[in-house]
Amino acid sequence: GSIEGLVYGITRARQAAKAWAEREGFSLAEAKEELWVGGGDLTRALIGDRLPELRGKIKEEVKWLGLTMRSSPKGGICFRRQAERSLEEAGKALKRYTPLCRRQFGLSEAVLEGLWHRVIIPKACYGAELWGHQARYAWYTKKAESLRHAAGRLMWRALGSTPGILMARVMEWKRVDHAVVERLAKATLYKRRWRLEDKDAKWLSQYAGDVLRNQQPDREQVAPEGRVLEIDGGGSPMPEEGCVQYYTDGSRKECTKGRPRGGRIATCARVGCGVAEIGPQGELAWAGSHRLPDWCTVHQSELKGIERACIRAETTLPKVREGKIRKVDICVDNISALRAAGGHIQLLGRTGASARAAVIRLTEKLEEAGGELRLKWVKSHVGHRHNAVADLLAADGAHRGRLLTVPVPWVHTREQIQRRYASRGDKDWARKSSGLRASWAG
């Protein structure tokens, strides 16, 4: 906008801040008042001329909530300085433990690894949800790896001249840029309050894989509004006259297979969900099973089973109107899935929100027809035959059922990022280790 528009906005913002402070009983320190203005020096000079009382407080770089923000030439916010400061703070924290890592005494490998993951990495990743895209640049990767190599030399009490690529090979500690990418991916892909810019999505897709290319993430969202259903936690539902029960279960079986040319074992999974309809006399009236993508978690399969049970239960509405059926029970052996579907959890993933919406829809239709929906927990692996039938259906659906579409969970995305960095470390070692062998031979 124009300079006049910026000046008007700054004036109104200061007035609003002062009014809020007076209303809440706070006093604002004028000595600490700073004004960050994007753009070049000319823009800041023009604003200073129109607001003489703020001329010495207009800054190109400010610190807000512990984050250093600097003006970019295009008028945006540049977080490179914050990325550099985070690595510097992590390096200072590492140096504090240097006196404990001497030749005569020191800390164990487990203690040092715990310090690295619980102290150093959190300092290096502070605010990465905003500046994490800086990890795409070579300068950041180089500085982050230098910090990890220095920590490795402390652990092994190695000389400062020890090659960094060797330290990276013998230690399995998480890379700093790896932790930054994980935090950025989780915040921008799976949290409601963060969004990813298009220019960074292409870079992040190299690590997140399926989420940004051809699939949707199981993003966090507010649960659909509806009546909260109580959960019967008796653990052993029994057939009743005028009641239809739907037993649902989810299954995930890990399977391994050797690669054709040997090497590491490739791991895959078979995921499915099953629904068993039990009549008023305890007879099996209907059975259904579905296959889910390999990346699905057990929790997602349980939620998908509840959703399919609700869809199937809508076929009983004519009998409910006739008075032949009065109650419909959904029986599940996963209490967390029942809580999500019953409305006891406010923030759900897309899979949970879909199951919750199906429960709300079925509840409303049953109430209109004069029926009732009940959620019941079943104690698993105690010989309950109806739950065992649902378990068998879920296992069978994992191999032969019709494939359903399910969003990608965070667990799968994190595994893809880990594999990406593992292969990246192998490539670096293959490229640089030949020089090490030559120097040792000499």
CATH number of the CATH domain containing 329: 3.30.420.10
- Between 1 and 68, residue with greater pLDDT: 68
Say what the pLDDT of residue 260 is: 45
Q: What is the rounded CA–CA span in Å between residue 227 and residue 217? A: 27
List, in sequence order, every residue forming a beta bridge with 270; answer none if it has no partner: 253
Mean pLDDT of 280-291: 93
Say what the pLDDT of residue 434 is: 61
140 lies in the same domain as 35? no
Mean pLDDT of 283-296: 93
Asked whether residue 68 is assigned to any structural domain, the reply reads no
204 lies in the same domain as 235? no
| Residues with Cβ within 8 Å of residue 284, at least 6 apart in sequence | 276, 277, 278, 389
Q: What is the rounded CA–CA span in Å between residue 16 and residue 271? A: 55
Asked whether residue 224 is assigned to any structural domain, the reply reads no
311 lies in the same domain as 373? yes
For the ranges 73-77, 114-118, 189-193, 213-217, the lowest mean pLDDT is seen at 73-77
- How many CB atoms neighbour CB 15 within 10 A? 10
Q: How many domains does one find in the chain?
A: 3
Q: What is the rounded CA–CA span in Å between residue 181 and residue 177? A: 6
Asked whether residue 346 is assigned to any structural domain, the reply reads yes
Side-chain-facing half-sphere of 208: CA atoms under 13 Å:
28
381 lies in the same domain as 338? yes
Q: What token pair was written down for 322? A: 């006739």
Say what the pLDDT of residue 256 is: 61
Where are the strands (E) in 187-317, listed by range? 221-222, 231-235, 243-258, 265-278, 284-292
Q: Cβ distance 422 to 367 under 8 Å?
A: no
Burial class (CB in 10 A: 0-12, 13-18, 19+), 439: exposed
Q: What is the pLDDT of residues 13-39, one digit of tens each?
A: 888 888 888 888 888 777 777 877 777
Assess whether pLDDT exceeds 80 at residue 242.
yes
- Between 433 and 128, residue with greater pLDDT: 128
- Between 198 and 385, residue with greater pLDDT: 385
Assess whether pLDDT exceeds 60 at residue 194.
yes
Q: What is the pLDDT of residues 322-369, one digit of tens each?
A: 989 999 999 999 999 999 999 999 999 999 999 999 999 999 999 999
In this structure, are strands 372-378 and 327-332 parallel, antiparallel, or unpaired? parallel
Q: Cβ distance 283 to 251 under 8 Å?
A: no
Assess whether pLDDT exceeds 50 at residue 262.
no
Say what the pLDDT of residue 394 is: 95
238 lies in the same domain as 138? no
Asked whether residue 74 is assigned to any structural domain, the reply reads no
Q: What is the rounded CA–CA span in Å between residue 24 and residue 16? A: 12
For the ranges 184-193, 208-217, 244-253, 399-408, the lowest mean pLDDT is seen at 208-217
Asked whether residue 65 is assigned to any structural domain, the reply reads no
Say what the pLDDT of residue 104 is: 54
Asked whether residue 304 is assigned to any structural domain, the reply reads yes
107 lies in the same domain as 20? no
Mean pLDDT, rounded, of the chain: 85
List, in sequence order, every residue forming a beta bridge with 276; answer none if it has no partner: 247, 287
107 lies in the same domain as 55? no
240 lies in the same domain as 108? no
Say what the pLDDT of residue 102 is: 61
Asked whether residue 64 is assigned to any structural domain, the reply reads no
% of the chain surpassing 90 pLDDT: 45
What is the 3-state secondary structure of 145-191?
HHHHHHHHHHHHCCCCCCCHHHHHHHCCCCCHHHHHHHHHHHHHHHC
Q: What is the pLDDT of residues 63-100, one digit of tens each?
A: 888 888 887 777 678 888 999 999 999 999 888 877 77
Q: Which of 272, 280, 218 is nearest to 246 (CA)?
A: 280
List, in sequence order, every residue forming a beta bridge with 332; answer none if it has no partner: 248, 377
Say what the pLDDT of residue 123 is: 92
Query: Could you list the residue range(s) of the whole structural domain that residue 48 is in?
Result: 3-59
Mean pLDDT of 242-270: 73
Q: What angle do CA 389, 392, 394 make, to 5 degrees?
A: 110
24 lies in the same domain as 120? no
Asked whether residue 222 is assigned to any structural domain, the reply reads no
330 lies in the same domain as 236? yes
Tell me the pTM. Answer: 0.82
For the ranges 154-168, 250-264, 388-402, the lowest mean pLDDT is seen at 250-264
Give, rounded to a whole angstrom, the gap between the first and last alpha carbons of the chain: 65
Q: Cβ distance 86 to 183 under 8 Å?
A: no
Mean pLDDT of 183-188: 92
Residue 383: φ, ψ to 5°: 90, 15
Rg (CA), the chain: 29
| Cα 131 versus chain centre, distance | 17
**Which helix (DSSP H) or strand (DSSP E) does residue 386 occupy?**
helix 385-400
- Between 29 and 207, residue with greater pLDDT: 207
250 lies in the same domain as 389? yes
| Residues with Cβ within 8 Å of residue 296, at least 6 apart in sequence | 252, 271, 304, 406, 409
Say what the pLDDT of residue 296 is: 93
396 lies in the same domain as 264? yes
Q: What is the rounded CA–CA span in Å between residue 163 and residue 160? A: 8
Q: What is the rounded CA–CA span in Å between residue 160 and residue 153? A: 7
Q: What is the rounded CA–CA span in Å between residue 317 and residue 362? A: 9
